[in-house]
A and B are shown apart, each in its own frame.
Chain A
Amino acid sequence: MFKGRTITAYLLIAGFVLPILLLVMLTFSANWVYPNFLPERFTLSNWNEFLFKNARLKQSFLNSLIIATAVSLFATAAGFITSRWIAYHKRRNFLLILSYFPYAISPVIFAVCLKFYFLKAGIAGNLAGVVLAQLIITFPYGIIFFTSFWNRKVKNYVEVASTLGSNDVITLKKIIFPIAKQFLTTCFFQCFIISWFEYGLTTVIGYGKVETLTINIFQFIKESNTYYASLSSCLLVVPPVLLLWFNKKFIFQQTR
C-alpha cells in the first residue's frame, strides 16, 4: 500500500518535471533526427546565438519584460485601490460579477472585438497598446484578487486608527500597507505571469509589430525551428520557476 502511493507520487512528479527536462535538452541539441531518441550531438550554439548574436530574440525578451512589468505594476495598484471601493460598496456583488467578465472571457476574442478602437486610437501595433490591452484583463484580476483582503479585520483596524485620530495617509502607510504587503507582492507577480504568458491578445493588438517571447515561439514553431522554439520556451518558463522557488503563491494564477 505504502509503496503504491509512493510510486504514484513520484510518477506524478516525473510527469511534471519531464517537460522542462526535454525542453532544456532540445535547446542544447543539434541533428535530432528520427528515430534517434537523443540528438546526434549536444551543442551550445543555440544559446550562443541567443546570448551574443540574435538581436531579435533579445528584443523579444526585453519587450516581454517591459510589458509584464508595466502591466503588473499598474494592475496591482489600480486593483488594490478599486477593490477597496468595491468591497465597501452597497452593490459590491454586481460590481464583482462585472469585474469577473473581462477576466473570464477569452482574451483573444475580447481583443478582436476591441481591435477597431485600438486602430482608431493609433495604439495598435505598439508597446503602449499592448500594455493597455493586457491591463484590460489583468486589472479585473487584481480586483478579484484583493477582494479577500478587504475583510472585517482590516476594516476594524482602519476604524480603530480613525477613532484614535489617524488621518488617511498615516492609516495607509502605517496600517494598510504593512498588512497588505504580502498580498501586493503576490498580486504583482501573478499579474506579471499572466502578462508574461499572454499570446492571443498580444498578437491581435500588437499586429505582428510587437514581438514578445510567446509570439517568437509561435513563429519558430511555424518555421519548424524546434531548437529556437525550445530556447524561447525555456526563457519563458525560467522566471516563473524562479518565482516558485521563492514563494509558491507567486505563480498560483488560474491557468487557462
Chain B
Amino acid sequence: MTSRFKNIIPFSMLVILAIIPLVLGIGYAVSYSFGLTGVLNNGFTLAHWQTALSNKDVLMSFGYSILLSFVSIVLCVGAAAFLAFYIGDKLQSGRLSYFLYLPMAFPALVAAFFFFQFLSNGGFLSRFFFQLGFIKTIDDFPNLVNDKYSIGILAAQFFLTLPVFVLLNLSIIKNENIAALKTLGASLGAKRSQILFRVTLPVMLKKSFPTVVLFFIFKLGTYEIPLLLGRSSPEVISVITVRKMQRYNLLDIPQGYVIAVLYAMLVFVLLTLSLKPSKINMNV
C-alpha cells in the first residue's frame, strides 16, 4: 500500500461521512433562512430572520433551553460531587458499582416514558400517596409532568446524567489524588471549608469543565424528554425547530431554519470554547 493510498481512504471517509453532510446540512439551512432556496422563496431576503428574531416564542425557546440545560447540569454536577465524596468508595467496587451504570441502559425516550408513568397525576407516586391517605382525589396530586417548572424534564435528565458525572468525579478524585491534596491542605492549617472551596472543588471543576460543557450542549439539543414531558409553551429548541419545519404552514419553515442556524452557531461557539487545542491531548 502506498502512503498516498493509505491517506486517501480515511480522508475520503471523513469528507463523505462528516464534512459533506455538515456543509450540506448547515448550508441548506442558511440558504433557506435567507430565502435562497425552498418553496415560496424568491431570492435573498432578511425577512425570515427579522420575523424569527422578533418572535417571542423563538426567543423564549432559546432562553428556556439554556436555563433548563444550566439547571440540569448544575443539579447533576452538585449531586455527583456530593455522592462521589460521600459514598464514592461504596460505588467503586462490588455489586453497587454495577447498578450505578443502569441508567445508561435507558434511552431518553424510555426514561421520559417512565417518569411520565411515575410522576403524572395518574402515576405511581400519586397512587402511592393516595394509598397512604395524603390525597383524596387524582386532582389533589400536583402536576409534575408537562408542568410549569419542568420538574418532569429535570427529573428524567437527572436520572440519565447523574451516573456519568459520579463516574467522572470518581475518576478525577483518583487520578488527581484529591485525598493527598486534602491531607496536604489540612497539614498546612487549612479549615475543612477552605480545603473544599480552595482545593477540592477548583481541581474537580477545572478537570471536568470540558465534559460539563459537552453535556450542556447535549442538553441544549435534547428532544425526546421535553417532547413527552414538556409543555407546549415554552418549547425547547429542538422541539420548536421540528414543529416549525414539519408544519403544513409553509411560511413557518424558513423560521425553523433560522432557529437551526442560530442553534448550530451556539453549538459551534460552545464547542470551540470547551475544546481548545490545548485540551485535546492526543499524546502522540
Residues of B within 8 A of A (CB): 1, 6-7, 9-11, 13-14, 17-19, 21-22, 24-26, 28-29, 83, 86-87, 90-91, 96-111, 113-114, 116-118, 122, 124, 126-128, 130-131, 138, 159-161, 163-164, 167, 214-215, 217-224, 228, 237-238, 241-242, 245-246, 256-257, 260, 263-264, 267-268, 271-272, 275, 277, 280, 282-284
| B18–chain A nearest beta-carbon distance, Å | 6
| Contact yes or no, B284 A151, CB < 8 A | yes
14 contacts between A and B (CB under 8 A): A16-B163, A19-B114, A35-B126, A82-B10, A85-B14, A86-B10, A92-B280, A95-B14, A106-B222, A114-B28, A143-B14, A152-B284, A200-B242, A221-B228
| B84–chain A nearest beta-carbon distance, Å | 12
Neighbouring A residues of B90 by C-beta, 8 Å: 5-6, 9
Complex: chain B residue closest to A82, CB-CB: B10
Q: A81-B9, A104-B221 are in contact. List 4 more A-B contacts (CB 8 A).
A: A86-B10, A102-B18, A109-B264, A244-B104
| Contact yes or no, B117 A226, CB < 8 A | yes
Chain A interface secondary structure, helix, strand, loop or mixed? helix
Neighbouring B residues of A5 by C-beta, 8 Å: 86-87, 90
| B265–chain A nearest beta-carbon distance, Å | 11
| Contact yes or no, B214 A13, CB < 8 A | no
Q: Which of A206-221 contact B (CB under 8 A)?
A: 214, 217-218, 221
Separation of A254 and B101 alpha carbons in the complex (Å): 12
With A81-B10, A85-B7, A256-B221 as given contacts, are A217 and B110 in contact (CB-CB < 8 Å)? yes
| B70–chain A nearest beta-carbon distance, Å | 16
| B13–chain A nearest beta-carbon distance, Å | 5
Neighbouring B residues of A139 by C-beta, 8 Å: 13, 17-18
